[in-house]
Amino acid sequence: MAGFDDATMVRSTGDGCYDVELDPQWQIAGKLNGGYLLAVLGRAVLAEAGSADHPYPMAASAHYLHAPEPGPAEVTVRVLRAGRTAAQARATLHADGKPCVEALVTVGRLDGRVWWDGVPRVDLPPEESCFRLPVQGPGFEVPLMGVVAERMDPAVMGWAVGRASGRGELRGWVRLDDGREPDPLSLLMLVDALPPATFDLGTTGWVPTFELTCHVRAVPSPGPLAIRQRVRHVAGDRVDEECDVWDSTGRLVATGHQLAGLRIPDGQQPAAAGDG
């Protein structure tokens, strides 16, 4: 089993180009996880544009073009600006001759002193009372659950037995299974690691991400992360979701926002909420 560091390793081949090996373990239902791909891009950006002044990703935005297969791929990084408080770069993942993901990444320092907080920490039962998500998902395999330990609040697991709450919220404790402690780079993956919160609306259809943005707010302390993934709005065949991540001290360390497609299997349509 390749841990997070092995699975996101980048090898410079010069001129801002990096060889990567996309690891099949980071798949969900036969597709590599979008957050994992963003972390690979983030690592290449840090290799190219990172410095003592700009050690961490602060903001990363990815648009997804093609789903790459596991195996060899290439990341090209172009540094757009290196300023005093931040540097910005564009990174593109190519696989099989096609651009698959492009991201813009701003890197800089992180100062976690909280001045004002409008996002109170999610309330979770103790980790040992939570339910670890298995590799075998509802009708498909989720190899990702063999490398990321996601222990869910039993109160949000109704969807697994056909009794979704209808609130559109999943939450739980998350650790990397390789024992690696969380850092800012791994947060780019973790804002997209929970199952789609649409499961809690009673629909387990595929949710392919169009766009994912991660704002990293602090360097996480060691220990388990508390993560909440929430549906904001479902319209047409698209959903937008918000993901908040707190470290073991209760500090908000990252927020993710994504716009995704929503393929609703027959018989799983949520009740229409009206048109206005």
Interaction between residue 99 and a second copy (CB under 8 A) = yes
Residue 170, both tokens: 């999943």
Closest approach of Cβ 39 to a second copy, in Å?
A: 17
Question: Is 119 one of the binding residues for a second copy (CB under 8 A)?
Answer: yes
Q: Which of 114, 132, 163, 222 binds a second copy (CB under 8 A)?
A: 114
**What character string, x for contact with a second copy (CB under 8 A) and - otherwise, covers 40-59?**
------------------xx
- For a second copy, the binding residue among 3, 112, 205, 223 (CB under 8 A) is 112
- 115, 126, 128, 179: residue in contact with a second copy (rule CB under 8 A): 115
Q: Is 161 exposed, middle or buried (0-12, 13-18, 19+ CB in 10 A)?
A: exposed
Residue 113 touching a second copy (CB under 8 A)? yes
Asked if 66 and 208 count as a contact pair (C-beta separation under 8 A), the reply is: no
Single-letter code of the amino acid located at 173: W
| One character per residue 193-222, x = contact with a second copy (rule: CB under 8 A) | --------x--------xx-x-x-xx----
Q: Provide the β-strand partners of residue 74.
A: 19, 94
Cβ-based neighbour number of residue 185 at 10 Å: 23
Neighbours of 85 (CB within 10 A): 10
Neighbours of 134 (CB within 10 A): 12
Neighbouring CB atoms inside 10 A of 13's CB total 11
Structure tokens at 7: 């699975």
Which residues form the interface with a second copy (CB under 8 A)? 58-59, 61-63, 65-66, 80-81, 83, 85-86, 88, 90, 99, 102-106, 110-119, 168, 201, 210-211, 213, 215, 217-218, 230-238, 240, 249-252, 255, 257, 259, 261, 269-276
